[in-house]
Amino acid sequence: MAIEILMPALSPTMEEGTLAKWLVKEGDVVKSGQILAEIETDKATMEFEAVDEGIVGKLLIAEGTAGVKVNTPIAVLVEEGESADAAPAAKVPAAAPVAAAPAPVAVAAAPVAVVSKASADWPEGTPMKTMTVREALREAMSEEMRSTPEVFIMGEEVGEYQGAYKISQGMLDEFGEKRVIDTPITEHGFTGIAVGAAFGGLRPIVEYMTFNFAMQAIDQIINSAAKTLYMSGGQMGCPIVFRGANGAAARVGAQHSQDYAAWYAMVPGLKVVMPYSAADAKGLLKQAIRDNNPVIFLENEILYGRSFEVPDLPDFTIPFGKARIWREGSDVTIVSFGIGMQYALEAADILAKDGISAEVIDLRTLRPIDYDTVLASVMKTNRCVTVEEGWPVGAIGNHLSAEIMMKAFDYLDAPVINCTGKDVPMPYAANLEKLALVTTAEVVEAVKSVCYR
């Protein structure tokens, strides 16, 4: 049977090339591995080897031809006594498979009714207890460690020191050195070890003293933890939680005051949680530990000591991808998460006195994001302001604005405003630090602006 030799792709980006030179002529016997031709790609001149054996029946493309598309037949190999015309009619190369299952591309469609997903996280009448965010996080981890032997925590100063921010206080006593593991200051190394342990069947919780130091380890988080399930065709998941303080603390300067919400929220394969209240910290951390995917859990040093009501239930989790409506309102939607909620809620109080009724939504998880609750609210209020501590370029608020524009454009009575941290590294000086952070006053002003007040 005659065999067609096709123009090869000799670099990952090559679409066409020049057939610079034939090194065989019609009638030659070729062996597999023999150099047939020299081909110039977009990057280099490459030698093109024969894969099959046979006799060169016909050279279809003349030496020196430029712009030969990849997969175009360039020659025909025949067997002894066979004619080159026996080759199958040159056919148009099969087109690259067009996305069979297209990614859900947002199309500017006529607005459809969207139903909010926000609903109560626990049954009415559940007894509540007051707890700090710190205690809630500790309870979440301890409960999961009691019920699941594969769960362990590792990080700097989590054991004997009782946690740099005292989140793991007492846990070494209860769970012992095997499961509460002090590491040297080697973020990239211990993150890799934890990811490997997750591949190996354990469920690690990795504490970063702060997320600023996770930058040492971000390669393992993204290239190893987030992508391996996909790269292994679904075989090898990575159930792991990366948690720690994120964002600005107070006066600790540029290298220790950064919000990574938008960074991690960009990465498919990661889930990203950023709780505000103690109840959410507890319910979402338990959920994160049970999740079979890598979860980035962004805490906040300033919130650690804040107290909230937490349901007093033996086992309480909050699903990812479900926002919480903290306050219902009719004039404007304020969307935030993490410490941004503090400014959002304060602003709503101030605005209420001015007769502006704000609906305040806490996203709680940034991947997945509960778009429906945001859209349903915006379709009701027709105005939206987003609030976050991170930088303004590529912010979560930017993304939400785009989503709102695509799905609810006709409902908007004003452009969405993103309130963010300023576009500068965090300064140390007290007066400048205040300016760099997003403030309640800025949120109030933004709301008034979208309300044309």
Ligand X SMILES: Cc1ncc(C[n+]2csc(CCOP(=O)(O)OP(=O)(O)O)c2C)c(N)n1
54-59 sheet: strands from edge to edge? 3-6, 73-78, 54-59, 29-30
Residue type present at position 137: L
Cβ proximity to ligand X: between 181 and 335 the closer is 181
Give the span between the Cα atoms of 379 and 362, in whole angstroms: 17
What residues make contact with other proteins under the rule CB under 8 A?
A: 156-157, 160-161, 164, 182, 184-186, 188-189, 212-213, 215-216, 249-256, 422-425, 427-432, 435-436
**Is 360 within 8 Å of 344 (Cβ atoms)?**
yes
Rule CB under 6 A: which of 112-171 touch ligand X?
156
The residue assigned the tokens 């941004």 is 340
Residue 105, number of CB atoms within 10 A of its CB? 7
> Which contiguous run of DSSP H or E holds residue 135?
helix 133-147
392 binds, among other proteins, ligand X, none (CB under 5 to 8 A by kind): none
Cβ proximity to other proteins: between 220 and 373 the closer is 220
Q: Verify binding: residue 209, ligand X, rule CB under 6 A.
A: yes
**Is 256 within 8 Å of 249 (Cβ atoms)?**
yes
Span of 15-23, 83-91, 208-216, 314-322 interacting with ligand X by CB under 6 A: 208-216
Cβ proximity to ligand X: between 219 and 309 the closer is 219
Give the span between the Cα atoms of 238 and 232, in whole angstroms: 11
Cβ proximity to ligand X: between 137 and 158 the closer is 158
Q: Verify binding: residue 217, ligand X, rule CB under 6 A.
A: no
Token duo for residue 238: 């990575």
Least distance from ligand X to the Cβ atom of residue 339, Å: 21
Among 4, 121, 143, 187, binds ligand X (CB under 6 A): 187
Residue type present at position 162: Q
Least distance from other proteins to the Cβ atom of residue 212, Å: 7
315 binds, among other proteins, ligand X, none (CB under 5 to 8 A by kind): none
368 binds, among other proteins, ligand X, none (CB under 5 to 8 A by kind): none
Contacts of 43 (CB under 8 A, 6+ apart): 11, 13, 14
Least distance from ligand X to the Cβ atom of residue 215, Å: 8
251 binds, among ligand X, other proteins, none (CB under 5 to 8 A by kind): other proteins
Among 65, 216, 307, 398, binds ligand X (CB under 6 A): 216
Q: Verify binding: residue 398, ligand X, rule CB under 6 A.
A: no
**Is 169 within 8 Å of 342 (Cβ atoms)?**
no
Residue type present at position 68: V
Q: Verify binding: residue 86, ligand X, rule CB under 6 A.
A: no
The residues that are catalytic are: 187, 256
Give the span between the Cα atoms of 369 and 99, in whole angstroms: 25
Least distance from other proteins to the Cβ atom of residue 46, Å: 33
380 binds, among ligand X, other proteins, none (CB under 5 to 8 A by kind): none
Nearest to 185 by CA among 200, 164, 166: 164
- The residues facing 204 across adjacent strands are 152
Least distance from ligand X to the Cβ atom of residue 199, Å: 24
Least distance from other proteins to the Cβ atom of residue 25, Å: 51
Give the span between the Cα atoms of 90 and 440, in whole angstroms: 69
**Is 329 within 8 Å of 380 (Cβ atoms)?**
no
Among 106, 185, 236, 250, binds ligand X (CB under 6 A): 185
Q: Verify binding: residue 213, ligand X, rule CB under 6 A.
A: yes
Going from the C-alpha of 199 to that of each of 152, 240, 270, 293, 412, the distances in angstroms are: 14, 9, 15, 11, 46
Span of 9-17, 130-138, 209-217, 422-430 interacting with ligand X by CB under 6 A: 209-217
Give the span between the Cα atoms of 61 and 38, in whole angstroms: 13
Least distance from other proteins to the Cβ atom of residue 303, Å: 18
User: Is omega for the bond preceding 368 within 30 degrees of 0, making it cis?
Assistant: yes
Given the rule CB under 6 A, which residues bind ligand X?
Answer: 156, 185, 187, 209, 213, 216
